[in-house]
Amino acid sequence: MQKTVKGPVRFVGVGLHSGTPVTMTIKPAAAETGIWFRRTDLRISDNMIAARWNAVTDTMLCTRIENEVGATVSTIEHIMAALAGCGIQNAVVEVDGPEVPILDGSAAVFVAALLDRGLQELDAPVRIFRVLKTIQVRSGDAFARLDPAASLEMRFHIDFPDEAIGTQNKEMTLANGSFVRELCDSRTFCRQADVAAMRAQGLALGGTYENAVVVEGAQVLSPGGLRHADEAVRHKMLDALGDLALAGAPILGRYTGVKAGHAITNMLLHAMFADPLAVRMETCDAALSAVLPGAHLQKSDLRLVA
């Protein structure tokens, strides 16, 4: 059955790119609502923004969505991954600024708070998008692909010049709490060499060594080092789950990302929905529901992090 959160869940922090202080509250929503963001600081005719693939208007180092009157919210990928990984299909996410708080740079704080509050089953079945044929998009040497599969599977490859990251590969099935156990605590990352360039573009203004993994050559500059030896590729998978959640329903298929980011994953969703033969919406029975990312989730699945 569809789920929402049992009660409001509040977070206070700063935006990674804007550096703006922000308070965010996730509130319960009725069945069939989906995920919506509300900009509570805007006094305009419409401050509600749908968390949908066709509302994405910017993918420069994060995912930004926008409504028809120009209200936006940025860096939504981590909270979208947390909601998807916990199996929450319905919620209203209120923010009093232009960007979701970055917190520790991962989705673990979101997941822990959602599980602490508890989830509420609703009187409506979950629907999924089943991938029926291969869909692929490419940009230079980066590409993303969806293939038919019995559950949501993910394969990812990254390759960075810094030895602290280097070449990393990971594949996994995102079912039965695996997102919470294996991915949600992996933090966003960047190269020290890129920090000045990002800030010159008005990006990463709220970034610190505490809310991002910063590397330089073979060194990890952030205190405490890495949470996983392959934390970088795990975080890319976290981002991909959050961006795929903008489909509006769980996807059953195998996602392959090679040097992929927000832009390519959103291009993939555009390509998927542009082809009427690519996917089919299905209503979940008990067996199908059991392979979804939030199925049989326990709070004990959450790995303790620093």
Residues marked as catalytic: 262
- Long-range contacts made by residues 45-50, C-beta under 8 angstroms, separation at least 24? 45/69, 46/71, 47/71, 49/73
How far does Cα 32 stand from its chain's mean position?
20
**DSSP code of residue 247:** G
Instruction: Supply φ then ψ for residue 119, to 5 degrees.
Output: -110, 150
Q: Residue written as tokens 């293939």?
A: 147
Instruction: Supply φ then ψ for residue 199, to 5 degrees.
Output: -70, -30
Q: Which residues contact 10 (CB under 8 A, 6 or more apart)?
A: 23, 24, 25
303: left (phi over 0), alpha (psi -120 to 50) or beta: beta
Residue 153, token pair as written in the block: 């599977």
Residue 58, token pair as written in the block: 């910017």
Partnered with residue 92 across adjacent β-strands are: 27, 36
Partnered with residue 255 across adjacent β-strands are: 146, 154
Q: What angle do CA 18, 54, 171 make, to 5 degrees?
A: 80
